[in-house]
A and B are shown apart, each in its own frame.
Chain A
Amino acid sequence: MNIERFLAEREHVWAELDALLARADQVKLSRPETQQLVELYRRTCTDLNRARSYTANPEVLGRLNQLTGRAYRFIYRASHDTPVWASFVKLITREIPAAFRRERLAVLAAAGAFLAGALFGSLAILVDPANGERLIPADFFSESPRERVDKIERGEERIDDVEKAMVFGASLYTHNIKVSFLAFSLGAATILLGLLILFYNGVILGAVGTMYVLDDVSVFFFAWVGPHGALELPAIIFGGAAGLVVGRALLLPGDLTRGASLRRVLPSVWRMMIAAALTLVLAGLIEGSFSQFSAKTIPYPLKISVAALLFTGLMSFLFLRRTEEP
């Protein structure tokens, strides 16, 4: 066959398809244009088949492969034409709770790892308070719990205006979202490391909490950590749980291929991650303001009851409400 003539004859079809695809990237195509695109796509497919039997030339085949690939993605893509706001409301009120109920075993496993860690940390301190220095990063260790509480309760409020609260809150939730992303990624890639990082976070919390209890300042601890911790800790556990779901699909796909197995769980997973991120934004704002007030401004029982309310509210919203599967 004459490759020169083949190229000369067919190039205008390819150029036309190329132009139409470039247009489709910018605007929504009209019906006749779409029909024409489909026709050009078929002709280019045929050309690709013919070209393949005549030549192995990377230029010609590369061009045709790229063109048919782009047209294929355009023609066989799923349409996303639902209004944004309605789908957002549906996401929050129905799809997210449904995803959590569907994946409750993973949430339980993640929570179990975290609680086991907390128990471990707590026991380690009870056995020998000196273990604290081995378990907890050194920058938490500038002073004893008692001294810290005294300092905070006698001194000025650390957060005395809205601006400081917002700055502090924003830096907290961006950091925490990254931590939950990390828990997710480790769980997704290895399962075990995901459980381990949750366990480790549990150890630190358990150890620090027990040190406060031993120093007889437990009310302060719960009032200080509770209001944001009630949201933040579940959110990080959710991130880890979503990672476990992916890790299971990836490492133990069963009868499915890994790709198919992943595609099946991804909708639940990203809903769990969005829930975790939104919860962390809220928790960060609380941590930057409300949590930082000492007894002079807000009585501790009030702070602890807000914490309890937030926690039960979040849990019942995600796990107790009766919703149909989306």
Chain B
Amino acid sequence: MRDVTITTPEHVPIRLEPAGAGSRFLAILIDALITTAMAIAAGVVLSILLPSGIAAALTITINFIITWGWHVYFETKHQGRTPGKRALKLRVIDARGLPVSLHQSLARNIVRVLDMAPAFYGIAAIATLVTSTRRRLGDVIADTLVIRDSQALAYKGQLAAERRHNSLRTPRVLRLIRHKISLEEREFLLTLCLRADRMSPASRYDLMQDVSAAYREKLGIEEDSLSGENFVRDLTAVLFNPRA
């Protein structure tokens, strides 16, 4: 799988991350549950209000319109997101990065009948695995993409957790860092700090303890007064801002 890069007229390349088969399947499952529930509810209401034959005919028609119109309506009127896709933070877009058009939405949803075959979106699953940008047949035919709409940054202002004094900002530590911490590790530590607010407290604590223990050992720092998280945050602050 590779990201899709589009270049805006301002010559800024924007990279979009195609969504995987798993999250897309969950999204379609949610949509299917909602549409089925709606169709059943409509059927029950109609059968109470109308004579049974007319109610049945209307129910069949409504069921058809809901299941096929649902995706087209939400993809075109709600910026490429059905409720299921919204729940899983996915979005359908034109492969050039523009919003999906009515024509494209119709095309990709008509081909759904083929993608569903033989069962549980089997063809779609294979297609998303073999195409480089994870498209199902409908996406190929309509030239659309389903991308991951990454969530907001959980960054709250300060890496060093609003601490007055950073005991790691010493010449010795700076020298150790320069020799022992690679570029990838630097990015890893930053990502860890930025994501910390989204973790559950228990796993956040465990992870921070493990990481701080690993770097204490690696750098040979016997600073025991700091908690795991504060050590990681102080270290990251020093890494990204050696001269403050």
Q: Which residues of A contact B (CB under 8 A)?
A: 2-5, 7-8, 11, 14, 18, 25, 42, 45-46, 48-49, 55-63, 65-66, 68-70, 72-74, 76-78, 80, 161-164, 166-167, 169-171, 174, 177-178, 181-182, 184-186, 188-189, 246, 250, 258-259, 262-263, 266-267, 269-270, 273-274
Contacts and interface: CB of A to CB of B under 8 A. Distances in A.
Interface of A is mostly: helix
21 contacts: A3-B190, A3-B241, A4-B159, A11-B153, A11-B155, A42-B10, A48-B14, A63-B150, A69-B93, A72-B6, A162-B54, A166-B54, A166-B56, A170-B58, A174-B61, A185-B110, A185-B113, A189-B137, A262-B141, A266-B104, A270-B107
B54 A163 contact: yes
B113 A69 contact: no
Interface stretch (B94-102, B167-175, B218-226): B94-102
Given A68-B12, A68-B14, A185-B113, A18 B152 contact: yes
A72 B141 contact: no
Contacts of A273: 106, 110
Given A72-B6, A73-B98, A185-B137, 19 more contacts: A3-B190, A3-B240, A57-B190, A58-B191, A59-B153, A59-B194, A69-B147, A73-B79, A163-B51, A163-B53, A166-B58, A167-B56, A167-B57, A170-B60, A185-B113, A262-B143, A266-B107, A269-B103, A270-B103
B16 interface: yes
Contacts of A186: 114
Interface of B: 6, 8-10, 12, 14-17, 51-54, 56-58, 60-61, 63-64, 78-79, 93, 95-99, 101-104, 106-107, 110-111, 113-114, 137, 140-143, 147, 149-150, 152-153, 155, 157-160, 183, 187, 190-191, 194-195, 237, 240-241, 244
Contacts of B141: 188-189, 246, 250, 262
Contacts of A270: 102-103, 106-107
A185 B12 contact: no
B61 A77 contact: no
Which of B79, B141, B149 is most buried by chain A, counting CB atoms within 10 A of its CB?
B141
Contacts of B106: 270, 273-274
A157 to B, nearest CB: 15
B51 to A, nearest CB: 6
A121 to B, nearest CB: 25
Chain A CB within 10 A, most for which of B12, B63, B102, B152: B12
A46 B54 CA distance: 60
Given A18-B152, A72-B97, A167-B60, A60 B194 contact: yes
A174 B66 CA distance: 12
A188 B139 CA distance: 12
A266 B99 contact: no
Contacts of B101: 78
The 3 residue pairs across chains A and B that have the minimum distance between CB atoms: A163-B53, A166-B57, A185-B114
Nearest to A269: B107
Nearest to A75: B8
B110 A174 contact: no
A185 B141 CA distance: 9
Nearest to A8: B157
A42 B103 CA distance: 30
Nearest to B57: A166
